[in-house]
Structure 1
Amino acid sequence: MQASCIFCKIINRDIPAKIVYEDELIIAFHDISPAAPAHVLVIPKKHIANLLEITADDNKLMAHLMSVIPGIAKTLGLEEKGFRLVVNTKENGGQTVDHLHFHMLGERFMTWPPG
């Protein structure tokens, strides 16, 4: 955990969030600035700055994260029409919080390229 990280503060319940899923390894909550009608962030509770910081020690954590995403999609009612999963990495990738997070976006048609 990093004291200055807003997502670590959400994990520690120092900042409120509308949580849709939580277990011992990950947490998923609604984005406060949604880019789609359904916009949930799925994050590991372990502080990992970005996708480039994942190590072999994180393999089980990342496999677990990916294995729960379908259930979160079903909870949100996104399984029929689908959704987009996005990971922004560093400044040029559009990452604004230095804690690895996956954006789950749905309930509207996603265009390509995204921009």
Structure 2
Amino acid sequence: MPFTILEQSLSKQTEICVYLRNNSQIKGIIKAFDKHFNLVFLECQVDNKKISNFFQRGDNVVMIQSICSSLYFNCQLDYSIVQIIQNLIHILLKLLQFLHSAFLRFFIFWSCNYFLFI
């Protein structure tokens, strides 16, 4: 799968995003690659710094993602781990609020019925 992404990017001259071990990213157009994921970029952006003719060793590559963009569709995922964790915390808080209100409703209903039958 990663080789397919690299081959398509090389033939179509489309942009890819490479995630590295040190939590940095390289976005750019590749010029060449090998079986060890050593990559040569024509033009790229390394942590928001524009660089031309850049070489990246394959032993630091963690993930490769193709970046497809057009006028109506953008499949680039810009979620960082922090954003994902924030979204999960928000969902968990909403779930806890729901469970808390459901428990209170059940407790009030149960206590009212309990005292009615005593």
TM-score category, normalised to shorter length: under 0.3
Higher relative contact order (CA 8 A, sep 6+): 1
Structure whose residues are more often strand by fraction: 2
Greater gyration radius: 2
After TM superposition, the score normalised by the length of structure 1 is 0.23
After TM superposition, the score normalised by the length of structure 2 is 0.22
